[in-house]
Amino acid sequence: MSLVEGVLQLIEEAARKDHFAKVSTVWLEIGQLSGVEPQALAFCFDAVTRGSLAQGARLEIIAVPGSGWCMACEKTVPMTELFGECPQCGGFPLQVTGGTEMRVKELEVS
């Protein structure tokens, strides 16, 4: 719930800055390794935005795959978990290089 409240604060700040009154679509990028559950976030979105300029807005979630740098085989590899082994060589450790973010990518406004 607090993540959606943070998103709403970002939307409200953008509305003050860019002078719009209504949001019809919100695109969020959510990394596979972010620890954010997209379904739970979508469930909270309607409740948190009720009575705001984003009330009734469509929420579009863009999944960002996880990726990391394998120090053993020196390759960028896909990651599905934070502390897993390298899918190429089975080595450890992997340094996460992508998929941990959650950000507002775009707003459709009027």
pLDDT attached to residue 92: 87
Distance separating alpha carbons of residues 16 and 19, to the nearest angstrom: 5
pLDDT attached to residue 59: 98
pLDDT attached to residue 94: 93
Residues of the chain with pLDDT under 50: none
Of the candidate CATH numbers 3.40.50.720, 3.40.50.10860, 3.40.50.920, 3.30.2320.50, the domain formed by 2-65+99-109 belongs to 3.30.2320.50
Instruction: Kindly list the domain boundaries of the chain, sorted by start residue.
Output: 2-65+99-109
3-state helix, strand, coil in the chain (%, to 5): 25, 35, 40
